[in-house]
Amino acid sequence: MRLLKLALKSLRREWRSTDIRVLLAALIIGVGSVSTTGFLSDRMERALTAKGGEFLGADVVISSPREIEQGTLSAPNMQRSTALEFSSMLATDAGFQLASIRAVDQAFPLRGTVRIAQAMTEPGTVRNAMPERGEIYVDPQLLPLLSVEVGDTVELGVARFKIAGLVKDEPGRAGAVFGISPRVFMRLDEVPRTEILQPGSRVRWLHFFAGTPDQVGEFVEQNKPKLDDTMRLRGGRDGSEAVSGAFQRTERFGKLASLVSLLLAALAVTLAANRYAYRHFDQAALMRCFGMRRHSLRIYYGLQITAIGLLGSGLGVLLGYTAHALLLKFFLPDLSERLPSVHWLPILVAMASGLLALIGAALPSLLRLSHVPPLRVLRRDLSPLTASAWLIRAFSILSFVLLCYSYAGSARMVGAFIVGLLVLVVVIGGIALLTLRAGRWLKGLAPGAWRFGIAQLWRHRMAASIQLGAFALALTLMGIVALVRTDLIDSWRQQLPPDAPNQFLVNISEQQVPQIEQFMQQRDLSITEIYPMVRGRLVGKNGKLFDEILGDEEPRDNSLRRELNLSYGQKLPDNNQITAGQWHGETEQAELSIESGLAERLDIKVGDQLMFTIADRDVAATVSSIREVKWDSMQPNFFIIFSTQALKEFPANYIAAFRSPDGDVQTVASFVKQFPTVTVISVDRIIAEVEQLIAQVVLAVELLLGFLLLAGVAVLAAALLASLDERRHEAVVLRTLGASQVFLRRSLLAEFVILGVFAGLLAAIGTEAVSQLISQQLFDLAAKLHPWLWLVSPLFGAVIVTLSGLWMTRKVAKVAPAVALRETA
């Protein structure tokens, strides 16, 4: 307790020293960045799930070919809803039309909204999906197909129903793009009177559940093991393919920015901790002279570092929570009200990150303090770094790497980051010394004060090269994150260009293809490729059925439990990229291309032969390529695309998408009138949701970049702090010899400008090289050069290094020689 009181009293007395402030500031910034990212990632993940739930109609949906009994699933305190789906014919005097019937109860939807309109041109109003007794809501496409209007009566089975409204929007519409028939909503309790369903009828029961995130997590954990192969559980993320890609990349970017910020903060803490130890060598020697043992000395300084660590980590967590709360309040107000309280895990990770970074940086320096001999009071010797200190530093680095891995959750990200960092340190360290040597050539061209500043850099070339390396490393790390951020935002904006399709066309017959192309050309509308679509089941690989390959215990992928939408063609879709093999093109052989995710889940490789059942016939084809598909591109996409010859003899429906001008309902109405058998599905609302979410994600990225900038400035301040005493001493000597304050300021300005420009040039090299690796490996972004970086990076380096340097050395030129000499003596 006596040591604790003494340590805190001494720390309070030294509180105004610059090295303590820089140490604390670096820790606050690093922990603040990690905690902000942790809070945002947690909230963003829940935001994605919430948005996905709006697309699904619930937080969790379980589909089954039979009704699940009430007591089978455990869902205490959760909202529930049940729906029944089946296909049937609607009949009028004018004819028949196949429709997809969804019978719902009063509670549907639990998430999202259903919009019902009274006319084709109306946007509709939010209403309950369950109509009144004797009424149904129908897809607008059914009106021209059946030659009816709202208010007319149609037959469904043996019962007659009045059309009470048109379904303009519903949850799950995004996933119904490949549906084969228009939607009809009816009451669940009126299904028996239609007498449509008989033993053996093909139906799908949907059980919807909604609750808090904790309730949903507990529900999935408890009930998923109870489901058999015929059942499928989908969560919020499964309902929002259109935005999941953007959020996954954002989570990765947040973790990358957090790791970089934490690394910069750790670098700043290391430099400040070394400075802290150096300034306390004399104090440690005096305390040894007064009888304090090494063990007590370690405890004394350990208590000080622990106090700084707890205070800095606590303030960092508070800063991170405040920053994320402000972001939610001003930019995501709808989510801030719905989301639960912050989880304890981001707080724990942030605190552990700060303390581990501080201990790893400060502990070796503290061991040096404990080994300072009492004789240092008379001599200026410094004890070398002990072997145990090196072991502790190695252990701290290893612990820090493991912490980064546990936080990032990706060995690939941490490995690429560390390898790139090591290469950067080696390359930048070597080039820094060569750069200073090249800077000597500028000395003869510069005026007096600038010539002196350049000479000072070369005179202290080892210290200057360390500073230049630290500046360049900090600028490189900031540049990497900024560059990845720019590429990410560009990719998101390209994901939804102004001409992105907002109308999907389904059930196109082969005879209608040229007519639809002509319709689009006459109105100058942009339309995607018109793809043929054949329904089939994937049943085997290399002569064996998947039931034999997987066995009884292996879980079945959902693609094996349902019919897939298969397509064929000679041209690779624009939003697809070959990752293995070669595109089949115009081959006469039975070949196919498979989506990379499905290939990975089913362990399918190029050269494998896959077996399908299509229209009661067996079809085999060889895998010629594996594709990466951008499911969030708002384009028609397929898991499997065959060569033309493989499926040419099978009857096919066609699918396409086009862009209808905003607010133009006449184009769609004209299309429906001319092609009444083609189903038109509008995705305007989905596109609006995606654009809104991307805008919110960009704001979050900008906030993370701000923390990164602060962490970089902390590194610059800590690096300059290490040379502050030497600069003050030299300034005293120069003032004694007659140098003016203006001369000293100009020479310092010259040093910082040159250091900043060269650091910016080195950073441009490192940023361009490492960002290419990170962009491709972690974010699946195409490699590209950034010529503007070679101009912006040196300018930015000159500005930020100069401003930081002048601020840190603002009192150097003002120190009176007599005062400084007394302090030195």
| DSSP string for residues in 92-117 | ETTEEEEEEEEEE-TT--SSS-EEEE
339-345: long-range contacts (C-beta < 8 A, 24 or more apart)? 339/43, 339/46, 339/47, 339/50, 339/213, 340/46, 340/212, 340/213, 340/214, 342/39, 342/42, 343/42, 345/38, 345/42
Is the distance from CB of 347 to CB of 314 less than 8 angstroms? no
Domain tally, the chain: 4
- What would the pLDDT profile of 33-67 be if each residue is shown by its tens digit? 777 767 766 666 666 566 666 767 888 888 888 88
Is the distance from CB of 98 to CB of 127 less than 8 angstroms? no
Going by C-beta distance under 8 Å and a sequence separation of 6 or more, which residues neighbour residue 205? 63, 64, 65, 66, 67, 68, 82, 83, 84, 85
At residue 558, the pLDDT reads 72
Which amino acid is residue 7, in one-letter code? A
Q: Is residue 154 part of a domain?
A: yes
At residue 67, the pLDDT reads 83
**Start-end of H helices in 84-212:** 142-146
- What would the pLDDT profile of 729-778 be if each residue is shown by its tens digit? 777 777 777 777 788 788 888 878 888 888 888 888 878 877 776 676 66
678 and 530, same structural domain?
A: yes
Mean local confidence (pLDDT), 369-387: 60
String of DSSP letters for 316-364: HHHHHHHHHHHHHHHH-HHHHHHS-PPPHHHHHHHHHHHHHHHHHHHHH
d(CA 673, CA 668) in angstroms, rounded, equals 9
Q: Is residue 240 part of a domain?
A: no
The band of 566, judged by pLDDT with boundaries at 50, 70 and 90, is very high
Q: Is residue 762 part of a domain?
A: yes
Which amino acid is residue 642, in one-letter code? F
End-to-end CA distance of the chain: 35
The last residue of one of the domains, among 652, 671, 690, is 690
At residue 787, the pLDDT reads 83
The last residue of one of the domains, among 351, 374, 409, is 409
- What would the pLDDT profile of 498-516 be if each residue is shown by its tens digit? 667 878 888 788 889 999 9
The band of 343, judged by pLDDT with boundaries at 50, 70 and 90, is low
140 and 23, same structural domain?
A: no
At residue 238, the pLDDT reads 56
Mean local confidence (pLDDT), 578-601: 91
Phi/psi for 595 (5° steps) reads -70, 140
At residue 12, the pLDDT reads 77
Q: Which two tokens stand for residue 295?
A: 């063990």
Among 193-207, 489-503, 726-740, the least confident range: 489-503
φ/ψ bin of 642: left (φ > 0), alpha (ψ from -120 to 50), beta (otherwise):
beta
* β-pairing verdict for 114-117 and 125-127: antiparallel
823 and 721, same structural domain?
A: yes
Q: Is residue 713 part of a domain?
A: yes
Mean local confidence (pLDDT), 709-730: 70
3-class DSSP state for residue 100? strand
At residue 824, the pLDDT reads 47
What are the counts of helices (DSSP H) followed by strands (DSSP E) for the chain? 23, 22
Q: What percentage of the chain has pLDDT greater than the value 70? A: 70
| Residue at token pair 């389904």 | 506
Going by C-beta distance under 8 Å and a sequence separation of 6 or more, which residues neighbour residue 421? 263
708 and 805, same structural domain?
A: yes
At residue 45, the pLDDT reads 62
Domain containing residue 287: 1-59+245-409
At residue 177, the pLDDT reads 45
Most confident of 89-103, 330-344, 709-723: 89-103
Q: Which two tokens stand for residue 291?
A: 């009888």
Is pLDDT of 31 > 90? no
Q: Is residue 217 part of a domain?
A: no
Mean local confidence (pLDDT), 389-401: 68
At residue 175, the pLDDT reads 46
Mean local confidence (pLDDT), 426-440: 66
Is pLDDT of 442 > 70? no
d(CA 767, CA 786) in angstroms, rounded, equals 10
96 and 186, same structural domain?
A: yes
More confident residue, 170 or 186: 186
Mean local confidence (pLDDT), 683-709: 63
Mean local confidence (pLDDT), 263-272: 73
The band of 567, judged by pLDDT with boundaries at 50, 70 and 90, is very high
- Identify which of 73, 88, 165 has the alpha carbon closest to the alpha carbon of residue 128: 165
**Start-end of H helices in 675-740:** 684-722, 724-736
3-class DSSP state for residue 179? coil
389 and 262, same structural domain?
A: yes
Is pLDDT of 660 > 80? yes
Among 19-33, 106-120, 684-698, 705-719, the least confident range: 684-698
Q: Is residue 74 part of a domain?
A: no
Q: Is residue 238 part of a domain?
A: no
Most confident of 5-19, 230-244, 742-756: 742-756
Going by C-beta distance under 8 Å and a sequence separation of 6 or more, which residues neighbour residue 256? 413, 417, 481, 484, 774, 778
Task: Report residue 77 CA to chain centroid gap.
Answer: 32
Q: Which two tokens stand for residue 170?
A: 């519903």
d(CA 636, CA 657) in angstroms, rounded, equals 7
Q: What percentage of the chain has pLDDT greater than the value 90? A: 13
544 and 414, same structural domain?
A: no
Q: Is residue 483 part of a domain?
A: yes
The band of 704, judged by pLDDT with boundaries at 50, 70 and 90, is low
Q: Which two tokens stand for residue 255?
A: 């973790």
418 and 392, same structural domain?
A: no
Q: Radius of gyration of the chain from Cα atoms? A: 34
Question: SS3 string of 552-586?
Answer: CCCCCCHHHCCCEEEEECCCCCCCEEEEEECCCCC
The band of 192, judged by pLDDT with boundaries at 50, 70 and 90, is very high
686 and 738, same structural domain?
A: no
Mean local confidence (pLDDT), 342-362: 74
d(CA 503, CA 682) in angstroms, rounded, equals 5
54 and 93, same structural domain?
A: no
In terms of Cβ atoms closer than 10 Å to its own Cβ (0-12, 13-18, 19+), residue 199 is exposed
Going by C-beta distance under 8 Å and a sequence separation of 6 or more, which residues neighbour residue 104? 81, 82, 83, 129, 130, 185, 186, 187, 188
Phi/psi for 227 (5° steps) reads -85, 145
- β-partners of residue 114 are 127
At residue 150, the pLDDT reads 92
Mean local confidence (pLDDT), 206-210: 90
- Identify which of 279, 267, 693 has the alpha carbon closest to the alpha carbon of residue 467: 267
Among 229-238, 746-755, 794-803, the least confident range: 229-238
The band of 174, judged by pLDDT with boundaries at 50, 70 and 90, is very low
Residues in the chain, total: 825
Question: SS3 string of 516-541?
Answer: HHHHHHHCCCCECCCEEEEEEEEEEE
Among 212-221, 273-282, 367-376, 531-540, the least confident range: 367-376
More confident residue, 311 or 683: 311
pTM above 0.85, yes or no: no
d(CA 656, CA 503) in angstroms, rounded, equals 9
560 and 484, same structural domain?
A: no
Phi/psi for 786 (5° steps) reads -130, 85
- Identify which of 299, 278, 343 has the alpha carbon closest to the alpha carbon of residue 35: 343
Q: Which residues of 663-689 are buried (b: 16+ CB within 10 A; e: fewer)?
A: eeeebbeebbeebeebbbbbbebbbeb
- What would the pLDDT profile of 72-106 be if each residue is shown by its tens digit? 787 778 889 999 998 888 988 877 887 889 999 99
At residue 622, the pLDDT reads 94
At residue 146, the pLDDT reads 84
Q: What is the mean pLDDT of the chain?
A: 77
d(CA 684, CA 695) in angstroms, rounded, equals 17
The last residue of one of the domains, among 409, 435, 463, is 409
- Identify which of 339, 313, 336, 338 has the alpha carbon closest to the alpha carbon of residue 326: 336
The band of 551, judged by pLDDT with boundaries at 50, 70 and 90, is low
Mean local confidence (pLDDT), 411-433: 69
619 and 660, same structural domain?
A: yes
Cis peptide bond upstream of 109, omega within 30: yes
